[in-house]
Amino acid sequence: MRLTPAYVVSNGELTRDLRVEWREKFDDVDQVCGLYVRSGLLRPHHDPARVRKILSNSNAFVTAFAAKELVGFARGLSDQAHISYLADLAVDPLFQRAGLGRLLVQHFLAGVGDEVSVVVHAATGASGFYTKVGFELWENVFRRTRLL
């Protein structure tokens, strides 16, 4: 599904060719690893086989391309009927604080649909962002930390 183009500010310039799309599949490991590194999102970018598995077992994506470069990315798992997990959200530092993170979340929510609640585990320093974009902090959410 192609969504309407967005316009964001980067380095003080309006970027007119930003393409934001909802997808049920996305498998460009190099682009995703590059954005993991640039954004500082802690994911196993040094292990492309693991990232390939991460992408192939996910079913909810929003990509933002500026020209040929991935500059914004949301990834999650959704049953499309009741619950979703927003597992990755990353914006290239050149595009941060210009509304792109909010736009990715809006398109993710639109993609998974209104019947679905969305859970996210905020990275250190990102909790304030999720409050701004409409998420509530819940006390009774649990996790078992990965072993490897």
Ligand X SMILES: CC(C)(COP(=O)(O)OP(=O)(O)OC[C@H]1O[C@@H](n2cnc3c(N)ncnc32)[C@H](O)[C@@H]1OP(=O)(O)O)[C@@H](O)C(=O)NCCC(=O)NCCS
By the criterion CB under 6 A, which residues form the site for ligand X?
39-41, 89-91, 96-102, 122-123, 125-126, 128-129, 132-133
φ, ψ (nearest 5 deg) of residue 36:
-55, -45
- Minimal distance, residue 146 CB to ligand X, in Å: 15
User: Least distance (Å) from ligand X to the CB of residue 118?
Assistant: 12
Q: Give the C-alpha separation, 35 to 16, whole Å.
A: 20
> Judged by CB, which is closer to ligand X: 48, or 93?
93
**Which CB sits closer to ligand X, 38 or 81?**
38
How far are the Cα atoms of 73, 76, 86 from residue 83, in angstroms, in the given order?
20, 11, 10
Q: How far is the CB of 74 from ligand X (least distance, A)?
A: 9
In the chain, the N- to C-terminal Cα span, in Å, equals 35
Q: Nearest distance from residue 76's CB to ligand X, in Å?
A: 11
Nearer to ligand X, 9 or 81 (CB): 9
> Based on CB atoms, which residue is closest to ligand X, 39 or 58?
39
Q: Which residue is nearest to ligand X (CB)?
A: 101
C-alpha–C-alpha distance, residues 2 and 54, integer Å: 23
Residue 29 token pair: 């490991």
CA distance 54 to 105: 19
